[in-house]
Amino acid sequence: MRGPRRPKSRCKISGTRTVNESSFSNTGWLSRLRAGLRRSSGKLTEGIASAFTKRKLDDAALEELEELLIAADLGPATAARLAGDFGKTRFGKDVEEQEVKQALADAITVLLAPYAKPLEIDAARKPFVVLVVGVNGTGKTTTIGKLAQFYREQGLKVMLAAADTFRAAAISQLQIWGARTGCPVIAGDPHGDAAALAFQALQKAQAEKTDLLLVDTAGRLHNKTDLMQELAKIARVLKKLDPDAPHATLLVLDATTGQNAHAQVEVFRDLTQITGLIVTKLDGSAKGGVLVALADKFKLPIHAIGVGEGADDLRPFHAEDFARALAGLDKF
C-alpha cells in the first residue's frame, strides 16, 4: 500500500491485488491471516478431521457438522444453512475431510462476497468525513490511526478529530498516532463537548482543504441514552457545515467478543446509521467465525479486518482469503 498515484475521483481500501500493495507481500499477508485465524479454525478443522474420515454423509453427520460450525461462532442460523446446503449435494455419499473443508470454504466465500466492499473516499467531498464508532476496547482509536496511515500513503491529506472526550487516554493515543503518521489532530480537554470538537475539526479541515477527516467517538454503553444523544449531536453539528456529513459511519468490532458482537451492531444501528464494519483482533480470538454470522444477519459491508497491532495489520477484507483461512485450507 505504498507509493501509488493519487486517484482522480475515489480512493479505496482496495480489494484489488494488482495495486496498493503493502510493504510486505500478499503471500506474507495471507500467511499472517491464516496464522491469525488459527485459533478460530483449529477446533473446527480438528472436528472435521475426526468426524469426516471416509464417512457417509447422513443426518447424524450433518448434525455434527452443524454443531461444529456453531462452536466456531458462525451462529445457529448460518450453521444450519451451511450444513443444509452441503447435504443437498452430498447426502448419502462418502465424504472426506478435505472435501468438507473445501465445500465450507466455497460456501462461506459465496456468503461473504457481497459484503466484502472497500471503503470508498469520494474526492469530490472535501473533506470526506468518517465517523468511527464502537465500544471502548475494540481497537477503535488504533483503527483510526491505521486508516490514517493507509490514506496518507495513498497521497491523501488526512486530519484526525479526538471526539472521544470521555477518555483522556483516547485523546493522547490519537495524538500519538497523529505524530506517527504526520496527520494533524484536533483535540480539546477531557470531558469537553464532543460535538463542538467535531465541528471545530470540520471547520479546520474545510479551511485547509483536507481530503479525509477521521472522527473518533466515545463508546460508553453503560449509559446508552447519553451516547445516543452525543452521537446525534455530533452528526447534527457536522451537517451545519456539510449537509451530507458524516459521509460514512464505521463500526469497529472486536472479534474476541464472539456473539456479543451481534448486540453491539444492534445497539449502534439504533444509535446511528452504520454504513460499514471493521473487525479487529482476529489474531487473538477463537471466535473469528462470528464475522460470517454478522455478514449473514446484518448485511453490512465489511471494509477491513485486523490481525495484529502493527499499522500494516489492518487490511482489506477478501471473502475467499478469509473463508479458506477459517476452513483451515493451507493453500490459497
pLDDT score of 7: 38
Please report the pLDDT score of residue 331 as a whole number: 58
pLDDT for 223 equals 67
pLDDT of amino acid 27: 57
CB atoms closer than 10 angstroms to residue 239: 13
Nearest residue to 170 via CA among 197, 212, 139, 129: 139
Q: Domain map of the chain by residue range?
A: 35-114, 119-319
CATH superfamily placement of domain 119-319: P-loop containing nucleotide triphosphate hydrolases (3.40.50.300)
What is the reported pLDDT for 136?
85
**If you write DSSP's letter for every residue of 270-326 in order, what string do you get?**
HHS---EEEEE-GGG-S-TTHHHHHHHHH---EEEEE-SSSGGGEEE--HHHHHHHH
Q: Which residues of the chain have pLDDT under 70?
A: 1-27, 222-223, 330-332
93-128 confidence digits (pLDDT tens): 888 889 999 999 999 999 999 999 989 999 999 999
Q: What angle do CA 189, 224, 129 make, to 5 degrees?
A: 55
Per-residue confidence (pLDDT) for residue 6, from 0 to 100: 36
Architecture of the domain made up of 35-114: Up-down Bundle (1.20)
Residues pairing with 70 in the sheet: none
Under a CB-based contact definition with an 8 Å cutoff, are residues 128 and 247 in contact? yes
**Per-residue model confidence (pLDDT) at position 147:** 95
- 35-114 matches 119-319 in fold: no
Q: Say what the pLDDT of residue 16 is.
A: 34
- Taking a C-beta distance cutoff of 8 angstroms, is the pair 218, 226 a contact? no
DSSP 160-182: EEEE-TT-HHHHHHHHHHHHHHT
Within its chain, how far is the Cα of 120 from the centroid?
Answer: 14
Place of cell 498516532: 177
